[in-house]
Structure formats: C-alpha cells, structure tokens
Amino acid sequence: MGRLLNKIKEPNDIKRISPKLYPILAQEIRDFLIDHVSQTGGHLASNLGAVEITMALHICLHFPEDKVVYDVGHQSYVHKLLTGRKDEFTSLRQKDGLCGFPKRCESDCDVFGTGHSSTSISAALGLAVARDLEQKEETIAAVIGDGALSGGMAYEALNNLSILRREKKNMIIILNDNKMSISENVGGMSRYLNDLRSRRSYSEFKENVENALNNIPGVGKSVARTLKKSKDSIKQLFIPGMLFENMGITYYGLVNGHDIYELIHAINRAKQHEGPILIHAITRKGMGYKYAEKNPEKFHGIGPFDKETGEVLAKKTKKTYTDIFAESLVELARENKKVVAITAAMPSGTGLKAFKKHYPKRFFDVGIAEEHAVTFAAGLASQGMRPVFAVYSSFLQRGYDQVLHDVCIQKLPVFFGIDRSGLVGADGETHQGIFDISYLSHIPNMVLMAPKNEKEMPAMMKFALEYNGPIAMKYPRGSVYDGLSEYNAPIELGKSEMIYEGQDVVILAVGNIMEECEKAVQLLKSQGYNPGLVNVRFIRPMDEEMLHVLSKKYSLIVTVEENQLIGGYGQMVSAFLHKNVCKNQLLTLGISDYFVGHATVNEQREEAGINADSIVKSIIDRMN
C-alpha cells in the first residue's frame, strides 16, 4: 500500500512518477488521507476533492520556485504530502505538530499562510507583481473554491488583475468548483457558476467558431478578427465566462477536475498565456470516499471517525453552546416576528439551520461576506426589524469597520451572536476567537456580554432582543458548562453577579472561563484560602458599582479571560482602579502577546496560564 506515495519524499518527486500511474497515485493519496484523518480528525472532504488539481500543479510547476496560494488552505493536505511531509501526518493539528493550513514556517513550499476565505487571488497577485519587479520567471497560481468566490475580497482582487493584463504578465487562477463552501453555496455567483456548468466548454466553443470562420474563403478571417474583439450582447449570450472575460481575465473551461491529464493540459496551456487566466475545474467534494461524497458538510471538518462506517468516534453527550443558541433563537423568534437571522455561509456551524427550518422567510445566508452581513443587518434594524447575525469570532473581525460605522454610530439594535469566542483548539492561529473583547469593547454604544453557563445564555439572548441598541454575546465552541446553575440573578444592563463572597482575594471570571475559575476557587479553599468569585456577565458596560465594592473589600483582584490581555477586560479593570486611585493589587490572567497555535483547548489554556491549576499558582505566588 502506498508504494508510489512512499517515493515522494521531497518537493518535485512526483515528476519521477510515470504518467500512466497518476490515477493510482491519486487513489493512494485518498487512501492515505482517509486513514490518517480518521485518526487525527481534520478537513477531509475538501482535500479529497482537490487531489487531482494539486497533483497537476505539482506535475506542471517546480517548487518552491513556482508558487501556489490555496484559498482558506483547508484543502492543502495533498500539497503537504507532495512536498515531503507525509511522515508528519500522525501529528496533524496536534500541539507542535503539522498544521492543518499552509504555514510559511513549516515549508518553503507554503508560500503564503491562509486560514480565512477569499484571500488567495489578492495574495497571488502580490506574488506575481513582486516576481515581475524582480524580473523573475516564476509561475504563480491561486486555487480558489466557488464558495470563496462569493467573498467581496475576491472581486476586489479580480478587478485589480488588470495590472497583469496591461503588462501581459501571467498568473493562473484555478476555480475549484464543487458547489460547496462548508455548506451549499448561495447567491448570484453560485447561480452564475451553475449556469456555466450547464453550457459547453468556452475553449471548445471559441475554437470551433474561429476554425469555422477561418475556413470561409475571402471573408472568414476578417470576420473572425472582428468577432474576437467584440464585446456585444451576442458574445455574452453564447460564450460562458464573460464575467471574467470582461474583467480582462481569460476564461478556460469547463475542465473535469478529476481528470489528471485534462488538468495537466490546461495548466500547461495556461502557463504560456500572456495575462491572467482562470481555469474552471469541476470537482466533487469528498471524492473517493462514499460517506464524504454523500455528506460533504459533515466531513468538511470532522473529529476522529470509523473509516468503515463514517461515524464519529467521540459521540456528543452534552449540548453545545451553539445548540443552546439555536434552540433559544427559534423560541424567541416565535415570540417576536421581527426577529430575523443572518449567517455568512455558516448555517450549520452557527446553528441557524434550525431557524431556517422554522422561519425560512426570516433566514438569510449572504455567502462569505461578513462586511455585507453587518451592514445588511444595520439596514434591517433601521426599519424596525431585530436582526441577529450569528458569526464566528474570528470571522467577525472582517466586519469591524461596519460594526463601528454602520451599527454603533447609528445606535442600531443589531444582535451579534459571536460563536467560537475564546480558544478553539486544533484550527490554530487563524481561528482562535481571542480578540473580540479587544476589538469590540472600545466602540461607543456597543454592549458586550458573556454567559457563564447554559442556563444564563437564553436569558442573555432574551435581554439582547429587547435592548434598543448594538449588543453582542460571546460564547465558546464545544459543550456547555452546566455548573453553578443555582446562581441565576436576573440579567440587568451592566450588572455582574456575585457567586461567592470571600476575603483577601476575588476572582472576576469572564464567560466560559468560569468553569476553570470555579475549579480554582475549590482548589484554593482546599489550601486554606477563602476567595470570592464574580460572574462578570457584562464586559461593556463594566459594572463599576461592583468594582467599587470589591476594591474596598479585597486586597487582590484577579481577572481571568480567554482573550488577549492587550485591550482585554483586565486592562479595563486596571484603568478603572487607576482612575479611582484604588490601592488594590491587580492580577490579570489571559492570553499574552502571541498567536495561539493548534493544540487541544486544555493544552492551550495550560500554555496561557488560565487553567485551574495555573490560576491557583498565579494567585498564591502573588499573595505570597
């Protein structure tokens, strides 16, 4: 097993494989991915669908001199295999192991680090322009999915490709068209690409027309030249790909994305083209593994599973925060017909599939377009609707300007449900939700909340949909914390909740880190200390009244958060104590000034010093 794949130990080793064996190598790669991802978890369906595209690029290009940028990068496992990292796959997405996305420090062949959508064309254009300024001869390629092409940044880059067209400089875009992002694609670009799939190949059509005209004696060649320059409606009607053609990008398609020989032919032709060129390849997400083909959404990102049955090994025993959010939103929408839900291509990940099922006319999937989603929500709110934008913390970063300008300046009642807030584990630096307190808490008019457990979350959501202004609730990935359910004070704007009274030291816990803080309290008690514990609830507005009380009672105040310390809740408390000339000691615990790599959440908390044992050690060290 794997006799061909075992021969690939360095970049470009694939060139030594006989072309007639390429299909066998493709199958070996798929078998390898299924075997290893079933043990480690990871992104499976997207990689299975991109096997032949990646092989063809490695056959036609020379690495690392030539360069490929993978959009999002969750489909880069095959690229990693073909650049000599096969033996590292046992450590995929584990602490200090192989990253699940391209990473510049991992290999010279990972020319550009990715993790979020719609960036590849911009990055590749930068590489191409740098190549031309340095007068080099490299081939630059970008691989982008049809889902990523719904992101506004991709259009900005396509528009800017005129730089290369003007100079007749080459850059290759491969459109990996599988009708999917994570979930099924939506929107105008999706419909446009669906239309292209139903038409004949542009290249075949154009060549046939030109050949036929050229064979007409006397006038044929003249007519052919005239038609080639024409941009009229007849051409747009009959030639697929005119959206790209009219932007100055030559369209080549449709290509079977699982025919390695057809792909090699297309890429070699594209390399000779003067100017930017787009190869439109049709693929099947999950190709070669029946369970992933049948349910590509499930196998987009999956934990360890039984490869014989396709069933996940670790069965879910508790509800997640996303589950609670989804159930509560459906119930609140039943009570208030003005509630509408918005997602940016993440209906499953954010739990909004349930809302869509109950209220399809009040559900809106805007595609991979977080900026648009925020301003769309603002427009709805300006007309009396109660929009809820459910979005991952690391994705909302893209909509920062719109949150500030379009929502907060106008004091519009948009509710942001910020999923995957805090540490998220194996996806690594690009997906950690550890900046949302920092980038939201300083914006005037914004209210920012964090529930301590599953019981508090629905109450916060009800409060949010009754609040007349911008409001956000951050909550983590994974199973809900069901402890401290007996503490259930009413939700009041800007008011924290006292859990335990104590003496000398008090811990202020922000949101889901309450579970570790409560453990820390019990550990401290077992060592003879009597700490107080506060559920912060409202990060903004901060509960200054309670802070005044705490500053008079406790000599040491400790803040704990799953957020960067810079700009975090701890710094807000520090500013308060300084402003009010308080003499208390302050210990702020959170993420120091670094990007958190891929590992388990427990490992990440330990590294950051915010697990229960670390919290206890830090407190005792400070008190001593």
Q: How far apart are CA 339 and CA 243, in angstroms?
A: 36
> Which tens digits make up the pLDDT trace of 251-300?
998 899 999 999 999 999 999 999 999 999 999 999 999 999 999 989 99
Is pTM beyond 0.85 here?
yes
Residue 370 annotated in active site: yes
From 86, 93, 206, 285, active-site residue: 285
From 28, 370, 497, 516, active-site residue: 370
577 touches 585 (CB < 8 A): no
Percentage of residues in the chain having pLDDT higher than 90: 83
Give the chain's mean pLDDT: 91
Instruction: Find the mean pLDDT for residues 215-237.
Output: 54
437 touches 476 (CB < 8 A): no
Q: How far apart are CA 532 and CA 418, in angstroms?
A: 28
pLDDT at 203: 47
350 touches 391 (CB < 8 A): yes
pLDDT at 186: 54
- For 465-502, b where at least 16 C-beta lie within 10 A, e where not — what string? bebebbbbbbbbbbebbeebeebeeebeebebbebbeb
Residue 285 annotated in active site: yes
49 touches 287 (CB < 8 A): yes
Cα-Cα-Cα-Cα torsion 610, 446, 487, 391, nearest 10 degrees, comes to -70
> Which tens digits make up the pLDDT trace of 597-609?
999 999 999 999 9
Q: What angle do CA 329, 475, 47 make, to 5 degrees?
A: 95
Instruction: Find the mean pLDDT for residues 564-586.
Output: 96
Burial of 526 (0-12, 13-18, 19+ CB in 10 A): exposed
- Report CA Rg, the chain: 27
The answer, yes or no, to whether residue 37 has pLDDT greater than 50, is yes
Other Cβ atoms within 10 Å of 2 Cβ, number: 14
> Which tens digits make up the pLDDT trace of 9-33?
999 999 999 999 999 999 999 999 9
283 touches 177 (CB < 8 A): yes
The answer, yes or no, to whether residue 223 has pLDDT greater than 60, is no
Which helix (H) or strand (E) is 112 found in, with range?
Answer: none
Q: How far apart are CA 97 and CA 253, in angstroms?
A: 38
From 398, 420, 474, 537, active-site residue: 398
